[in-house]
């Protein structure tokens, strides 16, 4: 059962990446715009690479502190429930305030890596991964090293950091793959006119998904340590 749960959590990491990749708020329209403005399709991979780098760094910026914190408190119930409540709070905030963050419009279009980092942070993209990441770490620890003794504790911390890296990498790869597919399709079949006239907004769906994932984190933290 633990193996099935672990596999399900990794699939959640990947599917959340697909979800972020489809959402225009994570930047694929900027990759299309870059290719159209430069009048060459090979400008798109460069733009997508910069967006991916920014998104990956945003995921790591959120997950790494949690990896250290988990090590310090040995995954007590409070950290998992607290993380879940934080994600729920972010979801509620975004549901109430659906305006796109204005400061993103002031970032120069050439700075796609910075824009992607700030967009992911502002939309709580990294926070969505926290409850999933905590669940993965909990399952890995239950079948591996216990945080007893200095050497074992160091091994556990290294394991948590590596898991954070792999979660961020898998999520970003999934996001970039689906985002690139959407960008290529729009570039070759629809163009900039489609983006300007057919823009779709997933902010409310995003907010609700944060609330659901946060609730999952609270539930799993309570049940897992109950």
Q: What is the pLDDT of residues 128-185, one digit of tens each?
A: 888 888 888 877 766 554 444 455 556 666 778 899 999 999 999 999 999 999 888 8
CA distance 110 to 215: 38
Domain that holds residue 59: 2-224
Give CA–CA dist 60/216, Å, rounded: 21
Higher pLDDT, 170 or 86: 170
State the Cα torsion 62-124-6-136 to the nearest 10°: 20
Rounded mean pLDDT of 83-103?
76
Q: Residue 108, by phi and psi: left (phi above 0), alpha (psi -120 to 50) or beta?
A: beta
Reported confidence tier of residue 106, pLDDT bands at 50, 70, 90: low
pLDDT bin (cut points 50, 70, 90) of residue 108 is low
Cα four-point dihedral sign 111, 113, 116, 122: negative
Average pLDDT over every residue of 109-116: 78
Separation of alpha carbons 159 and 77, rounded Å: 20
Question: What is residue 147's predicted lDDT score, i.e. its pLDDT?
Answer: 47
Mean residue pLDDT of the chain comes to 78
pLDDT at 226 over 70: no
The predicted pLDDT at position 2 comes to: 72
Percent residues over pLDDT 90 in the chain: 19
pTM of the predicted model over 0.85: no
**16-57, pLDDT tens digit by residue?**
899 888 887 788 888 888 887 777 888 889 889 999 999 999
| CA dist., res. 182 & res. 21, Å (int) | 8
Residue 193 has pLDDT above 90, yes or no: no
Tokens 């970032």 — which residue? Answer: 107
pLDDT grade, residue 72 (50/70/90)? low
Cα–Cα nearest to 119, from 55, 173, 202, 62: 55
Report the pLDDT value the prediction gives residue 90, as an integer from 0 to 100: 83
| pLDDT on residue 211 | 85
The gap from C-alpha 92 to its chain's centroid, in whole angstroms, comes to 17
Close Cβ partners of 41 (under 8 Å, ≥ 6 residues apart):
35, 187, 188
Interatomic CA distance for residues 21 and 25, integer angstroms? 9
Total count of domains within the chain: 1
Report the distance separating Cα 92 and Cα 85, nearest Å: 10
């Amino acid at each position: 059962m633990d193996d099935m749960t672990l596999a399900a959590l990794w699939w959640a990491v990947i599917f959340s990446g697909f979800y972020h990749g489809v959402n225009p708020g994570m930047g694929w329209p900027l990759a299309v715009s870059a290719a159209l403005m430069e009048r060459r399709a090979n400008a798109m991979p460069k733009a997508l690479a910069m967006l991916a780098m920014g998104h990956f760094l945003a995921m790591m910026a959120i997950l790494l502190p949690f990896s250290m914190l988990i090590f310090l408190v040995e995954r007590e119930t409070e950290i998992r429930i607290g993380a879940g409540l934080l994600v729920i709070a972010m979801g509620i905030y975004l549901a109430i305030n659906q305006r796109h963050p204005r400061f993103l419009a002031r970032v120069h279009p050439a700075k796609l890596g910075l824009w992607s980092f700030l967009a992911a942070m502002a939309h709580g993209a990294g926070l969505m991964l926290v409850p999933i990441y905590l669940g993965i770490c909990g399952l890995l620890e239950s079948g591996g090293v216990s945080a007893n003794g200095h050497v074992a504790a160091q091994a556990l911390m290294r394991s948590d950091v590596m898991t954070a890296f792999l979660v961020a990498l898998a999520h970003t790869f999934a996001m970039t793959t689906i985002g690139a597919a959407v960008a290529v399709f729009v570039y070759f079949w629809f163009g900039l006119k489609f983006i300007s006239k057919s823009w779709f907004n997933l902010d409310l769906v995003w907010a609700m998904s944060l609330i659901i994932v946060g609730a999952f984190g609270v539930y799993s933290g309570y049940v897992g340590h109950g």
